[in-house]
Amino acid sequence: MAKTKQKHNNVQRRLAHKKARDSARSRRKHTHASVSFHSLPLAFCRLSAGWRDDGIALVYVARRLGEGRITSAFFYVDVWGVGIKDCYITPHERPSDAYAWLEAAGERFETSFEECSEELGSQLIWGGLWYGKEAGFLPPREFHDCKKFIPRVPDDAWDRSLFGKGGDRLVIGEMRDLLKRSKGMYNPDTTEGHFLIGGPVDEVDETSPWDELLVEDEGLPEGTESLLFIKGEYRLADFHEAFDLLSGWEDLGLVRAATAERFAEFDWTRAYPPNHWNPMSRMPGARQNLGRLTLEDGTLTVEVRGKSWILIMDSRLHDALGTSITRGRLEIHDPMDLITDPNSVEQGQRGLSEV
């Protein structure tokens, strides 16, 4: 079971990476607002092998546009418990692009893709919707557009035998993610079947620099922490979702400093703490600079000067975006290391930052 749990987490994490890259390119090429693509001829439908044993059905649906072009969508269906976990419209315009993508995706998701009938694809996708809703799980918002690629199956006509594990519901996931998918309504105690909490989708290796953020400083005055230059990168599934979110975080002290096409910078400030050492703190309306957030395409970069601030922002981002955001590279630098001769600085002189 531990191996199965890890595979579910790996697929969800890796799909978020591909979605962040592919969705941005897809938005530049297609407009899907009012088109029902399932009325177009089916080019092909592919399904991940071993989906019954893994509990993960990855469905790829491609429709013909004419002149050798296609339009397509990709679905991640948790057939054991949650239903539709993710979906997005892909940027592929030619069958050759789709075949190459499927081959690479098979390696990435540790599976292979086989031919699938449109009927089975419809049953898995729409059945996944209804199966998930029975336990309170809602589909991702992208389903509004992606559902147009496959004929609808009514909620009284889906094949229940395709779902569950041994006749029971088996939910695998981290509680925070499950609550987000159900708008806070999911309760394992009132859901029939089994329940299993897995690791966080964005969990990192034990040797990851992100772990250093959890190590507390020792021997420092209360209310202070070591002054560190910290730069954290995140991968995003949706630029516009992140932009709207950050633009509304005035309570956190974020102020938009610059904007351009798929680019934005936000200054992060706060009112100076009482009796702060900086003479600027006595100026009317003066604010302390905590850091900067840079949003560009599918990447968010957070630059701050202390562990507590990156932890605050990390928690806020994951609570708001859930599986739409994943951690990337993290850099932590002691400013004293930037001095030519760091040994000339007494330990007691190392910088402190007020929390």
Q: 295 near 265, Cβ under 8 Å?
A: yes
199-252: pLDDT as tens digits: 433 443 444 677 667 666 666 666 677 788 899 999 888 899 999 999 998 888
pLDDT band of residue 183 (cuts 50, 70, 90) is: low
pLDDT score of 25: 43
User: Which has the closest alpha carbon to 146: 69, 65, 51, 35?
Assistant: 35
pLDDT band of residue 345 (cuts 50, 70, 90) is: very low
pLDDT score of 272: 85
* Two tokens, residue 56: 């993960």
Overall average pLDDT of the 311-333 stretch: 86
Q: Express as a percent the part of the chain with pLDDT over 90.
A: 35
pLDDT > 60? residue 195:
no
pLDDT score of 155: 93
Domain locations in the chain as residue ranges: 2-197, 209-354
> In this predicted structure, which of 18-22, 106-110, 112-116 has the lowest mean pLDDT?
18-22
Q: Could you write out the DSSP letters of every residue in 137-188?
A: PPPPTTHHHHGGGS----TTSS-GGGSSBTTB-EEEE-HHHHHHHTTT---G
Q: 304 near 311, Cβ under 8 Å?
A: no
pLDDT > 60? residue 31:
no
pLDDT score of 343: 47
What sign does the dihedral 247-354-328-5 (CA atoms) show? negative
137-169: pLDDT as tens digits: 889 888 988 999 999 999 999 999 999 988 888
pLDDT score of 115: 96
Overall average pLDDT of the 83-95 stretch: 90
The more confidently predicted of residues 349 and 57 is 57
120-131: pLDDT as tens digits: 999 999 999 999
Distance separating alpha carbons of residues 317 and 176, to the nearest angstrom: 13
pLDDT > 60? residue 344:
no
End-to-end Cα spacing for the chain: 42
Residues 6+ apart with CB under 8 A from 84: 75, 76, 77, 78, 125, 128, 129, 132, 139, 140, 143
34-83: pLDDT as tens digits: 456 778 999 999 999 999 999 999 999 999 998 899 999 999 999 999 99
253-272: pLDDT as tens digits: 898 988 888 899 999 998 88
User: 186: which DSSP letter?
Assistant: -
Q: Is 45 exposed, middle or buried (0-12, 13-18, 19+ CB in 10 A)?
A: buried
